[in-house]
């Protein structure tokens, strides 16, 4: 199979996909679309958005769906249906937080300060304490007491977590089990190598 | 296995789960929580929200994750990983629309008219034409050219689609392949029976 990943030149929603491909030592073309080329390319994308993964010429979309597919492929899915449910519900819980964070990023200026306050004082502590509890129960993993694609999904998107931190706060200090999830992922050779060699971008 | 489903006395996000359980002829207790009982019950729920499905006493959450699990159980998953990716990405696309619709429902009053206009004139037509194209390619199904849990998920949440319709418009007339998806699901005996016997609620 040949893989071609289309996304902007940022980590963003493509980074979990890149982590999974790197983890599985799967060769892929990491296409990074420049902003000025996007309007034209957009018309060729199934849902007019990215990330899109081209698998043997077929373009598939939806970042979580792609991550689940690759997770299975590289041996990071659950070993039965209940384990997969555990993985999926942990990821969906993190996605709920992700969506709340991005909603604040795009809130109109006149409501932004208020939205940011609710996010940092209520939303983020609620979700991170729940996810931290999961990570405690699962010994430094988000599900199934072992490394799964949920861990890679989370670790690739720590920017979401950091955005929700209160100024000057070390968010990992408050949620040490979640830091362990990230540390476990970043200790994997293929991921460590990727972090060192990937393009340096803001997000 | 014993199943106990907790949700409010509405169709809402529990209805795809009810459809799947009914489709699979799986007995379950359909617990409908009254609003006044919710504050106390909430504290016992893993993520302080519903729907929650209790499987042999273990409470699982996240409606799409549960639907995927049940879809597999009742024989409505894909027959290989690429088919499951097709199902997942169709569902996630519909969930994107669902989230945009619910965001408008909860928009502050001073911005609501504008949000509603964008929703009905841009967002809904964009998503429904994409989903309708999928349903055309797949002969009245959302994925894999056959009945999958994606169809049941969609058909159980038509309220989302109808909310996005322009006043006086028959939305199914504009998207006939999507009507076919719903018709196909509602023609299934177990679903037909359920629709006739289920509690009548507004949402």
Same domain, B89 and B177: yes
Contacts of B60 in chain A (CB under 8 A): 85-86, 89
Mutate one of B65, B95, B125, B142 to test the A interface: name it (highest A CB count within 10 A). B65
Out of A55, A85, A108, the one facing B69 most closely (by C-beta) is A85
Mutate one of B42, B84, B89 to test the A interface: name it (highest A CB count within 10 A). B89
Out of B46, B68, B99, the one facing A88 most closely (by C-beta) is B68
A144 and B CB contact within 8 Å: no
Instruction: List, for residues A17-34, the tens digit of each pLDDT value.
Output: 999 999 999 999 999 999
- CB crowding B35-47: b at 16 or more within 10 Å, else e: eeeeeeeeeebbb
Q: What is the pLDDT of residue A167?
A: 83
Q: What is the mean pLDDT of residues B55-61?
A: 97
Tokens 């609501």, residue located: B112
Same domain, B46 and B123: no
How far from B169 is each of A114, A188, B115, CA to CA, in Å? Answer: 37, 55, 19
A-B Cβ pairs (cutoff 8 Å, strict):
68
Q: What is the pLDDT of residue B106?
A: 87
Q: Which of A96, A91, A76, A95 is nearest to A134 (CA)?
A: A91
Tokens of B161: 């689609």
B114 and A CB contact within 8 Å: no
A114 and B CB contact within 8 Å: no
Same domain, A180 and A94: yes
Same domain, A48 and A131: no
Q: Among A133-147, B44-58, B160-174, whose mean pLDDT is lowest?
A: B160-174
A59 and B CB contact within 8 Å: no
Question: Residue B155 domain-assigned?
Answer: yes
Q: How close does chain A come to B46, measured CA to CA in Å? A: 8
Same domain, A88 and A170: yes
A166 and B CB contact within 8 Å: no
Contacts of A60 in chain B (CB under 8 A): 85-86, 89
Q: Among A155-169, B14-28, B80-94, B146-160, whose mean pLDDT is lowest?
A: A155-169
Are residues A65 and B89, on separate chains, in Cβ contact within 8 Å?
A: yes
Same domain, B69 and B87: no
Q: Note whether ipTM > 0.85 here.
A: yes
Instruction: List, for residues A82-122, the tens digit of each pLDDT value.
Output: 999 999 999 999 999 999 999 999 888 988 999 999 999 99
How far from B92 is each of A177, A198, B8, B196, CA to CA, in Å? Answer: 29, 28, 23, 29
Q: Which of B106, B114, B150, B200 is nearest to A65 (CA)?
A: B150
Q: How many other β-carbons are positioned within 10 Å of the β-carbon of residue B83?
A: 16
The mean of the pLDDT values for chain A is: 96
Are residues A88 and B69, on separate chains, in Cβ contact within 8 Å?
A: yes
Instruction: List, for residues B179-193, the tens digit of each pLDDT value.
Output: 999 999 999 999 999
A81 and B CB contact within 8 Å: yes
Same domain, B43 and B62: yes
The residue of chain A nearest to residue B133, with distances taken between CA atoms, is: A46
Mutate one of B54, B92, B104, B130 to test the A interface: name it (highest A CB count within 10 A). B92
Are residues B65 and A89, on separate chains, in Cβ contact within 8 Å?
A: yes
Same domain, B97 and B61: no
Rounded to whole angstroms, the Cα distance separating A98 from B152 reads 27
Number of residues assigned to chain B: 203
Same domain, A55 and A115: no
Domains in chain B: how many in total? 2
Same domain, B59 and B101: no
Q: What is the CATH number of the domain that holds A7?
A: 3.40.30.10
The residue of chain B nearest to residue A92, with distances taken between CA atoms, is: B62
Q: What is the pLDDT of residue B165?
A: 87
Read off the pLDDT band of B169 (50, 70, 90): confident
Same domain, A177 and A135: yes
Structural domain including B26 reads 3-74+189-197
Q: What is the pLDDT of residue B168?
A: 85
Rounded to whole angstroms, the Cα distance separating B141 from B134 reads 8
Q: What is the CATH number of the domain that holds A167?
A: 1.20.1050.10
Q: What is the pLDDT of residue A4?
A: 98
Question: Residue A202 domain-assigned?
Answer: no
Q: Which tops the pLDDT comparison, B110 or B194? A: B194
Q: Which of A182, A177, A180 is nearest to A192 (CA)?
A: A182
Each residue's pLDDT, cut to its tens digit, for chain A (203 residues) gives 999 999 999 999 999 999 999 999 999 999 999 999 999 999 999 999 999 999 999 999 999 999 999 999 999 999 999 999 999 999 999 999 999 999 999 888 988 999 999 999 999 999 999 999 999 999 999 999 999 999 999 999 999 999 888 888 899 999 999 999 999 999 999 999 999 999 999 99
């Amino acid at each position: 199979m040949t893989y071609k990943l289309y996304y902007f030149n940022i980590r963003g929603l493509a980074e979990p996909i890149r982590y999974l491909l790197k983890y599985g030592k799967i060769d892929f073309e990491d296409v990074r679309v420049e902003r000025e080329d996007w309007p034209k390319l957009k018309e060729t994308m199934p849902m007019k958005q990215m990330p899109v993964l081209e698998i043997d010429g077929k373009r598939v979309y939806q970042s979580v769906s792609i991550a689940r597919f690759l997770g299975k492929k590289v041996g990071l899915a659950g070993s039965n249906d209940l384990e997969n449910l555990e993985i999926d519900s942990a990821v969906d819980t993190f996605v709920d937080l992700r969506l709340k964070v991005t909603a604040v990023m795009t809130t109109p200026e006149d409501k932004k300060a208020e939205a940011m306050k609710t996010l940092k004082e209520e939303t983020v502590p609620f979700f991170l304490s729940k996810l931290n509890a999961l990570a405690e129960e699962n010994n430094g993993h988000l599900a199934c007491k072992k490394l799964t694609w949920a861990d890679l999904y989370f670790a690739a998107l720590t920017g979401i977590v950091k955005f929700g931190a209160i100024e000057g706060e070390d968010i990992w200090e408050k949620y040490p089990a979640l830091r362990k999830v990230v540390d476990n992922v970043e200790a994997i050779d293929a991921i460590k190598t990727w972090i060192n060699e990937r393009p340096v971008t803001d997000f």
